[in-house]
Structure 1
Amino acid sequence: MSTSKLLPAILAGLALGAAACGDGAVQVPVPQPDAVTQRLCDGLRLPEKVRGQERRDTSPESSLTAAWGSPAIALRCGVPRPAALQPTSELVTINGIDWFGYPAGRPVTFTAVARQAYVEVTVPPKYNPAGDVLIELGPSVKATIPQKPEGQI
């Protein structure tokens, strides 16, 4: 199985594993973006709370990752384009940001697409509807990560 197909399952396992570890740092794999994407992601100013959940430390510590609550809502900035994303993929648009959700099971990982950096958010079932998480994180993404030219995802 390819890494891109395994990643959502790995993130789900990490988020669930973090719940068993109490309030310590959440294990979130750090993306390896190019320098331009790294600079965009470094500018991302995220809220201290999401869905009423406090922000938590991530391990390894990185400006490209963030987490809130237990089980953890996990964010990664600068991830690769999702392998399953196609021009015909169904997207959910929330407050001007297009999100690609996968897998169909739980937890769901959403990736902000049509932006100059892909931002991935994994939402455990505890926080359903997941769209509420995206509503709260959307303004930070919109303010920091510029859109790609029209028609590019």
Structure 2
Amino acid sequence: MRPILTAALGMTVPLLAACGPVDLAAPPATAAKACAALADGVPTKLMTETAREVSPADAGAAWGDPEIVLSCGVDMPEDFTPGASCEEISGVGWYVPTDQFADSRLDLAIYTIGRSPVVRLEIPSDYRADAAFVADSLTTLAPVIKEHTKLEKPCI
């Protein structure tokens, strides 16, 4: 919890860490339209977690505290190479970095493969203890990702 703010009227108001918007990087101009449509189409709840405000609003979405963050128009991570393993869930291919795949104590940052623009989903380790949460989240997000991103190359 953040420090207590003393208002001009003498009231004290606690400021919660989850109150402010989640800051995201703006997508590149070439991805802005698709990312805005994706951000508009995501559900207001992701499993048990409620949506959070993000800034800029057309860059993605966030849910919960600690926040699960979906970012649109991102680059693939440096360790991604063509032919890397691809996990397909509900018609969307995902790249899971090898070091994160095996260790559920780590935060998870996974990326769509073969779609434009690229979407990253960051899942804090707090949620990874429930493997069904991660799988169900990806299944829930698949329709909106398929609708608002272009399939360039299927997951193989």
TM-score range, shorter chain: 0.7 to 0.9
Equivalent AA in structure 2 for residue 107 of structure 1: D
Shift of 1:88: 2.2
Q: TM-score, normalised by structure 1?
A: 0.75
Shift of 1:26: 4.4
Where does residue 38 of structure 1 map in the other structure?
32
Q: 1:57 aligns with which of 34, 53, 66?
A: 53
Q: 1:134 aligns with which of 129, 134, 138?
A: 138
- Secondary structure, counterpart of 2:34 in structure 1: helix
Equivalent AA in structure 2 for residue 47 of structure 1: P
Instruction: Tell me, in whole angstroms, the C-alpha distance in 1 between the residues paired with 2:36 and 2:151.
Output: 17
Q: TM-score, normalised by structure 2?
A: 0.74
State whether residues 28 and 65 of structure 1, in contact with CA within 8 Å, keep that contact through their aligned partners in structure 2. no
Between 1:103-112 and 1:64-73, the stretch displaced more is 103-112
State whether residues 24 and 59 of structure 2, in contact with CA within 8 Å, keep that contact through their aligned partners in structure 1. no
Q: 1:100 aligns with which of 90, 95, 99?
A: 95
Where does residue 66 of structure 1 map in the other structure?
61
2:40 equivalent to 1:22: no
If you compute each CA radius of gyration, which structure gives the higher value, 1 or 2?
A: 2
Instruction: Tell me, in whole angstroms, the C-alpha distance in 2 between the residues paired with 1:121 and 1:39.
Output: 19
CA-based RMSD of the aligned residues comes to 2.2
Report 1 or 2 for greater relative contact order, CA contacts < 8 Å, sequence distance ≥ 6.
1
State whether residues 93 and 154 of structure 2, in contact with CA within 8 Å, keep that contact through their aligned partners in structure 1. no
Residue identity over aligned pairs, in percent, reads: 25
Equivalent AA in structure 2 for residue 39 of structure 1: K
- 1:69-84 aligned at under 5 Å gives the runs 69-84=64-79
Which blocks of at least 5 consecutive residues in structure 1 are unaligned? Answer: 1-20
Shift of 1:43: 1.2
Where does residue 82 of structure 2 map in the other structure?
87
Q: How many residues in Structure 1 have an aligned counterpart in Structure 2?
A: 131
